[in-house]
Amino acid sequence: MPRVEFLFDFGSPNAYLAHQVIPEIEARTGAHFEYVPILLGGIFKATGNQSPMTAFGHIKNKLQYEQLETARFIKKHNITRFQFNPFFPVNTLGLMRGAVAAQKMGVLPRYADSVFHHMWEAPKKMDDPAVIREALVESGLDADALLATAQTPEVKQGLMDNTEKAVERGAFGAPTFFVGDEIFFGKDRLPDVEVEIRNQAD
């Protein structure tokens, strides 16, 4: 089975939507998606990219079409809990350092489920440290240990390294997927990701 990576930032609604669909692909293929925390703002800075709202906001009909495609994706995959975060855009530096910390502590799957929930299902201002702590406690995670570990030099460097490596491999946004060395960008490429998993597994 090939190595499959999901490069994500909690600030991306499309990363949340991909997160909802990944279990379906894992069940069908037997593959395991490895979650790789990256800092989307760092990738944007390194590549000169911008968020869709910034990049397309001045283009007549473009954002409306993007919203239409998102609605179609949500309907296709029967995603029922998505709510757009009223505090968007959210500075995710603390959350993404927390993801690296959670990975080191062996609780990244639970942490990812929790933070995606509090960002895009029960949306909160998830760049406020007090709000983050309360959300993690509500989800049954060891908030104090996670937040303390997130402030260590090792974790801070780990997030920087993940982000720099992502750019070196060709990433320019999130969600980005790698199947082996093959790169795919965006939630709409998930069918292609699934095909590539099957091709490489043969």
pLDDT averaged per 10 residues in sequence order, the chain, 202 residues: 97 98 98 98 94 84 93 97 96 98 98 98 98 98 98 98 98 98 98 98 90
pLDDT at position 53 is: 79
Give pLDDT, residue 193: 98
* pTM score: 0.95
- Per the listing, tokens 């350092």 go with 97
- Number of folded domains that form the chain: 1
Angle at alpha carbon of residue 65, lines to 63 and 68, rounded to 5°: 115
Residue 48, sorted as left (phi over 0), alpha (psi -120 to 50) or beta, turns out to be left
Give me the CATH number covering residue 120.
3.40.30.10
Structure tokens at 57: 């906001």
Predicted pLDDT at 51: 84
pLDDT of residue 52: 80
Burial 157-182 (b: 16+ CB within 10 A, else e): ebbeebbeebeeeebebbbbbbbeee
What confidence tens digit (pLDDT) does each residue in 148-187 have? 999 999 999 999 999 999 999 999 999 999 999 999 999 9
Q: Cβ(8)–Cβ(174) under 8 Å? A: yes
Domain that holds residue 136: 4-201
